[in-house]
Amino acid sequence: MTNQVTVLGSLNVDTTLRIARMPQPGETLSTENKSSAAGGKGANQAVAAARAGAQTRFIGKVGNDEAGRFMVESLKNDGIDTSAIVTDKTVGTGSAFILLDEEGQNSILVYGGSNQQIKPAEVTAVEAEIAKADFLITQFETPQAATLTAFTLAKQHGVTTILNPAPAAKIDPAILKVTDLVVPNETESAVLTGIEVTDVASMDANAVKFREMGVKNLIITVGSKGAYYNTEKYGSGFVPAFKVKAVDTTAAGDTFIGALSSQLTPDLSNVETALVFAQRASSLTVQGLGAMPSIPTFDQVQAAAKK
């Protein structure tokens, strides 16, 4: 059974600047390389879901510019339904500038552009698309008002909602009440709950806090260590990450969420198996350069599992 995944999210053209190390305040460094590729957290997650086998649709906004046309074509190339992407006539397509050092660590500056212009009415207009999904995924690179509308509609149609609260932000409490599964990293989780993530006990405490805020299921990604899960019906645990040499960590978290949604059952009953698949997909992404170019296909993840 193929999962139907709809992503409400951001579309950015990523420009990556490769540098030896991060600059100090006031310092000028020369870059070793410069490249551009399709990106944005939403787009990356949609591509990861599609490449991992999910039938994927996208709800978003681009500018009436070359970058916008490039982003739509990039999604179409991965078989993603782009019919719910709107063109904004006044604001340009989103962009991101990624500083990538020799250790594979990155710092990212994002210009929201048309991503920040998505209106609740535009989300309501594609209610039929949302209703078809098994999962609706969103992040915080688009307005929270649009997220609340989308998740509220999803719940009316029995669609499982996945929130990736990245970048970390003050959140409308109403969104959490219509979120089935929240997937932050350890920093984002601590921002939302006020509880620092240091060990399993603190992750359990985060899960309790999220339940108090209305979300019954939690996955915390902890970088190269792995992922913690805590579900209402299927218990909790920790799935270790696969040990690999990271070249570029850009889109690792996005790959994880997209790949997860392609394998997860809407009732989350196979959460541990789906997490292992998502971890493996993410471990392949960090071994390649660039966001979208390094996101693996289902066959590549399966091949890695046999090694």
Numbered residues of the known binding site: 12-14, 40-44, 141, 185, 221-226, 248, 250, 253-254, 285, 288, 290, 294
What are the strands of the beta sheet with 226-230, ordered from one edge? 81-88, 55-63, 4-8, 135-138, 160-163, 181-182, 217-222, 226-230, 236-240
Kindly give, in sequence order, each residue whose CB lies less than 8 Å from that of residue 141, ignoring residues fewer than 6 positions away: 9, 10, 12, 40, 41, 42, 94, 110, 112, 115, 166, 167
Catalytic residue selected from 78, 254, 267, 299: 254
Task: For residue 299, indicate whether it is catalytic.
Answer: no
Region of residue 226 (left: phi > 0; alpha: psi -120 to 50; beta: else): left
Measured CA to CA, the distance from residue 78 to residue 76 in angstroms comes to: 5
Using only the alpha carbons of the chain, give its radius of gyration.
18
Q: Are the C-beta atoms of 177 and 152 separated by less than 8 Å?
A: no
The tokens for 26 are 């006031």
Measured CA to CA, the distance from residue 279 to residue 227 in angstroms comes to: 8
Residue ranges of the binding site for K(+): 248, 250, 285, 288, 290, 294
Measured CA to CA, the distance from residue 18 to residue 133 in angstroms comes to: 38
The tokens for 146 are 């649009």
CA atoms within a 13 Å half-sphere pointing along the CA-CB vector of 200: 8
Measured CA to CA, the distance from residue 222 to residue 145 in angstroms comes to: 28
What residues act catalytically? 254
